[in-house]
Amino acid sequence: MPDAKLPFLIEPGELATQLDTPGLLIVDLSDAPLYAQHHIPGAVWLEYPKLLHSHPPVMGLLPNEDDLSKVLSTLGITPQTHVIAYDSETNNKACRFLWTLDVAGHQNFSLLNGGLSAWTKEGYPVNDEAVTVQASEYPVHYHDEHCVDKSYILSHLNDSGVVILDTRTPAEYAGTDKRAYRAGHIPNAVNVEWTQAIDRQNNMKLKPAEVLSALYEAAGVTPDKEIIVHCQTHQRSSHTYIALKSLGFPHIKGYPGSWSEWGNDPDTPIE
């Protein structure tokens, strides 16, 4: 891994000075045609669906450990590799990948702030060269400190030390936008739409830390609480997970089943 520890949220200018650093792997989660057209020099491509397992109507689940082990090994990742992820849109696919690494216990990773959009708009180089890597052997063992299931949430619905953070749109939260068998939200959940963390005036980067902290604090999302984030399939909420992690929140968990599970279960409580 790199000699100096890289920041969790890395700026394009800083990454540009690190492209040839041994032990660093840049992973691009853009769509395949765009990656083929241009990407950060040396970045390897990861097909986003390989990070997911579905059991319809429940979507967005984690793959089994063996399948994820194959994915990471194909990328050449070892437990010592420092991974930097990005995509070409709003970085929520990159964030889902980093959350997955967190659940797998990987210690060293960063998000490219603003993703490919910020990288190109700030004038850093791209190319279309294919990248080959030497496969590794990466054993995956999931850890539950960053991941919860439906039963965990059911047992913590009235826990004052837990905040369920619904990152969907206000319409989904209110139940007027129905995307499952039932609409609404988990009882006592608070709603902060994931896009509120994005600074559209600054190349789609995360808003400054003090702005983010105030945004979440206003909803009761504070570092002294355990925060459980969810959306429909834990793609959008992965972005919020990484935003909270960038602020130093110590107890954050993702709910991969999200509303695709909760809203399609006739027995779960809904507001």
Contact 163, 251 (CB under 8 A): no
The structure tokens listed for 70 are 């194959």
145's tokens: 């400190």
Strands (E), the chain: 9-10, 24-28, 44-45, 53-55, 58-61, 82-86, 109-112, 162-166, 190-191, 198-199, 205-206, 226-230, 252-254
CB 90 within 8 A of CB 117: no
Is 95 catalytic? The answer is no
Distance (Å, rounded) from C-alpha 142 to C-alpha 93?
19
Q: Report which of 260, 243, 237 is spatially closest to residue 190, judged by C-alpha positions.
A: 237
**Catalytic member of 6, 62, 180, 231:** 231
**Angle at alpha carbon of residue 117, lines to 115 and 118, rounded to 5°:** 75
**Catalytic residue set:** 231
